[in-house]
Structure 1
Amino acid sequence: MVSPPSLSNPGYRSFCLATPDIPVFAQPWYLDACTAPGLEWSAVLSRENGDVRGAMPFFVKKRGPFRFATMPPFVKWLGPYIGPQWRGDLRQEHIILADLIERLPRLAAFKQNFYPTLTNWLAFYWQGYQQTTYYTYRLHGIQHLAKVEAGISANVLRDIRQARRQVRVVHDMGAEQFYAVNKLSFERQKLAIPYSWEQFQRHDAALAAHGARQLFFAVDAEQRVHSVAYLIWDKQAAYYHLAGDNPALRSSGAGLLLVWECIRYASEVLGLDCFDFEGSMLPGVERMRTRFGAVQTPYFFVSKYNSQLFQLLEKLKS
């Protein structure tokens, strides 16, 4: 086990305990579980008269003599958090964001995906940061499941019905079985899985301990696992976090069935109203998300190089 990161700000932990709507990706226990050798997290806080008005956690990675802020596996979004009483007041947002930027340590580079809910990055632009727009896909109003189902394409609904005739959905097959099927999807694409079993196990244990995840398995009569899905959540949304299919059994449509079961779980069990697919820029993935009726939602990748040498080395590496 990796010890709690030495960089992490105890004030941020206290702030999160007192702030109910901190996203799951920014919870200290979640960040702790994503640390690794050479990778630790910290946070800066913006205060006024002792009150925290904003916060920004970030991961620092070491590469040779360089230290830079980056996004590790399992952390889809981070970025600044602005207290609800100041959101929407552009003047106050600019002040808080500028203060957070000023408090960042000196790093060779800063690279971070901001939350889809953060639409104001001007303070970063004014400080020489750059921005690239990416997209996630969100379903809103999932408390009205009949309306959500009506927005799903006929072909997807047909495939879900077909899958129901071949598999049943269970939750109790365990993290190791999930990881095995998840890994198969990467192997099918001739890609290395970007996290080890040990990293996944630690991540899963943290989410399970905080009651913030559910596993879904589509299993046939022969006990073969066709597809898996991994749902996580916070007070604002449920997130379609990880998934996988057995390449030999993909034709069953079980993956689509599990997406629908995750949406139902988020609505009926968790009582949430937003379902997030956690984004993708791949054409095939985009088509499937929109066939579920999900709305394209932008989020910002914000970056800045403070070291020209580090920037050159990254270009040579790519």
Structure 2
Amino acid sequence: MIKKRFGLTVITQPPLTQYLGPWILPAQSKRAKQLSREKDLMQALVDQLPQYHIYRQTWSPDYQNWMPFYWRGFAQTTRYSYRIENLSNLDEVWGGFQAGIRSDIRKAQKQGVVVERSADLSTFLSLNEMVFKRQGRAAPHPESLVKNIDEAAASRNQRAIFIAADEEGRSHAAVYLVWDQHSAYYLMGGGDPELRNSGATSLCLWEAIQFAATVTRSFDFEGSMIEPVERFFRAFGGEPVPFYSLSRAHNRWLNLAMSIRS
């Protein structure tokens, strides 16, 4: 995605896109020859980039050979997500949860909280907005963008919305899930701050994980580098998965600014 910012041309991630970067069709050859081919193709990709002032993209965890970009002056910051790699045995997945997560799930169930798969995007957006209001911030993505993404994902039957509500009709928490043949991705979430101790968020995620097991192989929390969020995701028993954020600026002062920001 190319955008203008303060008069600068920036190549960056599209909104709500966790992973991007190059994708190279695997070749049926010896590993050394594959790597040589990757090097040539990736250097050709760098040469074909449009003119820019700043490049910043986050690559898929499945692709970690960024050396050809390093040789062309790019820098890299390692980030982490959590991923439950194998959803084929949900008893094992449940057993991998920390005791606190299982307790939260049981607590929510005892309080009569029920999770339903819903097409109610407006309720999800309301719960999502509450998270940012509690932090004194506006939601980072406009509703129009989320609605466009939802329409595209729904048309492909590759999204599900889960809403946790109690017997009084109060919506406690929500999960927005998308998936492909490899994994499900926890794209967005939300919750009512007044009800955040009900355990509904953990229950909602557990229901989403169980659903994901019916449509794909793994579950990616699209992890955060924010410590409290990381701690919560880690409690679901997934493996930390590194992925790379690459950057480059055609100006040493811009490079310095990006390194400080990272």
TM-score interval, normalised by the smaller of the two chains: over 0.9
Tell me the equivalent position of 2:13.
71
Q: Alpha-carbon deviation of 1:68?
A: 1.3
Change (3 A) 1:133 1:312: closer
| Mapped contact 1:62–1:68 kept (Cα < 8 A) | yes
Identity of aligned residues (%): 36
Q: Which residue of 1 aligns with 2:103?
A: 158
Q: Which residue of 2 aligns with 1:140?
A: 85
Secondary structure of 1:208's counterpart equals: helix
CA–CA distance in structure 2, aligned partners of residues 239 and 291 of structure 1: 17
Deviation (angstroms), 1:86: 6.3
Q: What SS does the aligned partner of 2:163 have?
A: strand
Cα distance, 1:180 vs. partner? 0.6
Question: Residue 251 and residue 93 in structure 1: after superposition, are their counterparts in 2 closer, same or farther (change >3 A)?
Answer: same
Query: What SS does structure 2 have at the residue aligned with 1:191?
Result: coil
State whether structure 2 residue 232 is matched by structure 1 residue 288.
Answer: yes
Q: How many residues align?
A: 258
Please state how far the C-alpha of 1:65 moved relative to its aligned partner.
3.6
Confirm whether residue 193 of structure 1 aligns to residue 193 of structure 2. no
The unaligned stretches of length 5 or more in structure 2 are: none
Go from structure 1 to structure 2 and tell me whether the alpha carbon gap of 1:132 and 1:314 turns closer, same or farther (over 3 Å shift): closer
8 Å CA contact 2:166–2:172 kept in 1: the answer is: yes
User: Cα offset for 1:211?
Assistant: 1.1
In 1, Cα distance between equivalents of 2:232 and 2:256: 38
Corresponding letter in the other structure for 1:171: R
Residue 315 and residue 99 in structure 1: after superposition, are their counterparts in 2 closer, same or farther (change >3 A)?
closer
Per-residue deviation, 1:132: 0.4
Question: C-alpha offsets along residues 213-266 of structure 1, whole Å, 9 cap, x if unaligned?
Answer: 000000111111000000000111000110011011111100000111111001
2:76 alignment partner in structure 1 = 131
Q: Which residue of 1 aligns with 2:27?
A: 85
**Aligned-partner Cα distance in 1 for 2:235–2:49:** 41
Letter in 2 for 1:143: S
Q: Structure 1's 99 and 273: CA in aligned 2 closer, same or farther, altered over 3 A? A: same
Q: Tell me which residue corresponds to 1:297.
A: 241
Rounded to whole Å, the distance in 2 between the matches of 1:103 and 1:109 is 15
Partner residue, 1:51:
none
Residue 227 of structure 1 aligns to a residue whose secondary structure is strand
Contact 1:66–1:310 (Cα < 8 Å) also in 2? no
What per-residue deviation string (whole Å, max 9, x for no partner) do you get for residues 2-33 of structure 1? xxxxxxxxxxxxxxxxxxxxxxxxxxxxxxxx
Residues 158-307 of structure 1: matches in 2 within 5 Å?
Answer: 158-165=103-110, 166-172=112-118, 174-267=120-213, 269-270=214-215, 272-307=216-251
Q: Is the 8 A contact 1:86 1:93 kept in 2?
A: no
Deviates more, 1:64-73 or 1:198-207: 64-73
Does the 8 Å contact 2:108/2:199 carry over to 1?
A: yes
Q: Please tell me whether the aligned partners of residues 118 and 160 of structure 2 are also in contact (alpha carbons under 8 angstroms).
A: no
For 2:57, give the aligned amino acid.
Q
* 1:120 corresponds to 2:65: yes
Contact map agreement 1:73 1:194 (CA 8 A) in 2: no
TM-score by length of structure 2 reads 0.92
Q: Which residues of 2 match residues 36-115 of structure 1 at below 5 A?
A: 59-85=1-27, 89-115=34-60
Q: C-alpha root-mean-square deviation of aligned residues, in Å? A: 2.1
The gaps in structure 1 that reach 5 residues or longer are 1-58
- Secondary structure of the 1:252 match is coil
Moved more, 293-302 or 281-290: 281-290
On the 8 A contact 2:248/2:255 being kept in 1, the answer is no
Deviations 1:19-72 (A, max 9, x none): xxxxxxxxxxxxxxxxxxxxxxxxxxxxxxxxxxxxxxxx00012542110123
- Over 3 Å counting, the alpha-carbon distance change for 1:86 and 1:75 in structure 2 is farther
Compare relative contact order (CA 8 Å, sep 6+) and give the higher one, 1 or 2.
2
The answer (yes or no) to whether the contact 2:181–2:217 under 8 Å persists in 1 is: no
